[in-house]
Structure 1
Amino acid sequence: MASQAPGLAPTPLLQPVTHLLFDMDGLLLDTERLYSVIFQEICDCFGKKYTWDVKAMVMGKKALDAAQVIVEVLDLPLTKEELLIESKKKQEQIFPTATFMPGLLNCGISNTGYFPKKKEAMHSGIVDSFIWLSTPMNVICLVFEDAPNGVEAALAAGMQVVMVPDEQLNPELTRKATLVLKSLEDFKPELFGLPPYD
């Protein structure tokens, strides 16, 4: 543990890293807000409210698993597959309007995943600037996440995690992250042995 001021909780030592891995939804692109709009439009048809509590339960889950939670918690007269079909129709219309989250363009970005085609088409410039990793040796990754289960997965893989949570997320769900920031604009690469911003 790093040294600390009296009365403060211990601060973990931050280890130098070689690569950065970024979650996309809600961290790079402002899509979590759009998911809320989509699911509320669907829920409106049945007189239900897609509340923050429900949203927190599905953040970071696979689409079908998230749909199952929404259907069960809100008692919607749909199957999870039907909800997913309806939401995907709306995504086709609304996702091309997604904007970048603050601080994104400050960061040197590496990614082992992919952008879904609709999102990629609207943001091809930033996709082209990503460094696509194969499996090089001696890679030490730092993961950027906004969802608690994404943090858990990164930690389980032995990686450090910078979490940029929604301001409405219960602070208890951020405690396991290596570092918690309000925005990517607050990230200081030198804390992890990377060159500082120009």
Structure 2
Amino acid sequence: MDDRRISAVIFDLDGTLLDTVLPFFWYQEHGTKDLLKELLVRYGKVVDLDKENKRHGMAHRESTIAIVKDYDLPITPQQYSQIITPMYHEKWLQAKALPGVNRLIKHLRKHRVPYALASNSRRKSIEIKVSSQKGWKEYFSVIVGSEEVKSGKPSPDIFLETANKLGVDASCCLVIEDSMVGIKAGKAANMQVVAVPSIQSESDQYSMADHVIHSFLDFQPELWELPPFEDRVMKALPIEPIRFKGSYKNGFLQEISDNGASDLVGQVWGVYFGWVEVGSQERLKIVVNIRWDHNCGAFRRNIQACFINGSDEQICDQLMEVTLVGYIRGFCTKQKQNISTDDQIIDQDKSIAEACLDLAVYHCHNSPA
């Protein structure tokens, strides 16, 4: 971070504001049906995970050209685009805002801080995604897509054009991105950059960014001389509910999904609290520590759990529905081989959670963050 005063914020869209980007290791691990895999099967091809992860954040035109070439497909890039785009439309309409995104957008709007969208997607695709989010059509009056500039990211063109439309000097803009392609573009535009990695296994590679956070819940506007948040309640933050199913054993939750796909996006990382329902038993209070860790060479999610009321023995191995309603804190952004003591649930976390869950704001299922 430097001393330049920030007067506008520019957001990337896919993987930054919306959960439209899922890393290929995630599909592979959970057996989820991926649209690219589905298309490649038609031509007797299989996905190359290394190539696809490196394509993350690439502009649509460059991406389609590269895919057709890399897999030696008997179609043109234009034909590929015509086939794959309608397949993605349904997914885009189902996409959700990532944790803390709506909180920040509303905060900037409230304090009249200019902000905009700058995406490597085409304008039509951006508008489809934006239209599916409540209020976003009105929120984003400035949007720049890849076809509106000479070159997409990592060229700075998109960000420079966005700054021009905002009427703000590029050096006074803060870019928020999830990919290395976008980070390089922001730095090339002489802007300051916050990285919110959508592929958590790569977050330790984002040193080019001025600041790295795991999710928007960790964003601190005051670091950029922007108006600070003032919405914490009892040392915690009310959040939009995060729901998932799981079973408990030996201090950890194992997520369970009906279709094998996780209900937790990669940016759900930190100490949260909420409620658990187990069959006909009373609703239990829970604190969870959610993080990604390297275990035996694999990068996997660990969910440490602590029940404030109720006995562990009573609920062991039973299916439970978890609803997280509050956020306490995050962790250091640098990856570690093992969970340290500082990153585990501590007594203060339990005390905060217990006090908060007695408040009406943490009973509400339409919380503001």
- TM-score range with shorter-chain normalisation? 0.7 to 0.9
Moved more, 129-138 or 182-191: 129-138
Q: How far is the alpha carbon of 1:138 from its aligned partner?
A: 5.4
Query: Hey, what does 2:167 align to over in structure 1?
Result: 136
Corresponding residue pairs, total: 186
More strand by share: 2
Moved more, 39-48 or 109-118: 109-118
Q: How far is the alpha carbon of 1:156 from its aligned partner?
A: 1.0
Query: Hey, what does 2:210 align to over in structure 1?
Result: 178
Q: How far is the alpha carbon of 1:45 from its aligned partner?
A: 2.3
Query: Hey, what does 2:191 align to over in structure 1?
Result: 159
Is residue 55 of structure 2 the alignment partner of residue 58 of structure 1? yes
Runs of 4+ in 1 over 6 A off after TM superposition: none
Structure 1 counterpart of 2:140, one-letter code:
F
Distance 2:48 2:99 in 1: 24
Is residue 60 of structure 2 the alignment partner of residue 40 of structure 1? no
Shift of the 125–83 alpha-carbon distance from structure 1 to 2, 3 Å rule, reads same
Structure 2: stretches of 5+ with no match in the other structure: 28-33, 109-114, 143-162, 231-369
More helix by share: 1
Distance 1:171 1:75 in 2: 33
Q: 1:122 aligns with which of 108, 127, 132?
A: 132
Distance 2:44 2:202 in 1: 25
- Larger radius of gyration between Structure 1 and Structure 2: 2
Query: Hey, what does 1:187 align to over in structure 2?
Result: 219
Query: Root-mean-square deviation (CA), in Å?
Result: 2.6
Q: How far is the alpha carbon of 1:181 from its aligned partner?
A: 1.1
Distance 1:105 1:39 in 2: 29
Distance 1:91 1:97 in 2: 10
Q: How far is the alpha carbon of 1:23 from its aligned partner?
A: 0.4
Structure 1 counterpart of 2:82, one-letter code:
I
Q: Which has the higher contact order (CA 8 A, sep 6+)?
A: 1
Q: How far is the alpha carbon of 1:19 from its aligned partner?
A: 1.0
Distance 1:177 1:14 in 2: 15
Distance 1:104 1:85 in 2: 31
**Aligned residues: percent identity?**
27
Query: Hey, what does 2:116 align to over in structure 1?
Result: 111
Is residue 91 of structure 2 the alignment partner of residue 98 of structure 1? no
Structure 1 counterpart of 2:100, one-letter code:
G
TM-score by length of 1: 0.81
Structure 1 counterpart of 2:86, one-letter code:
K
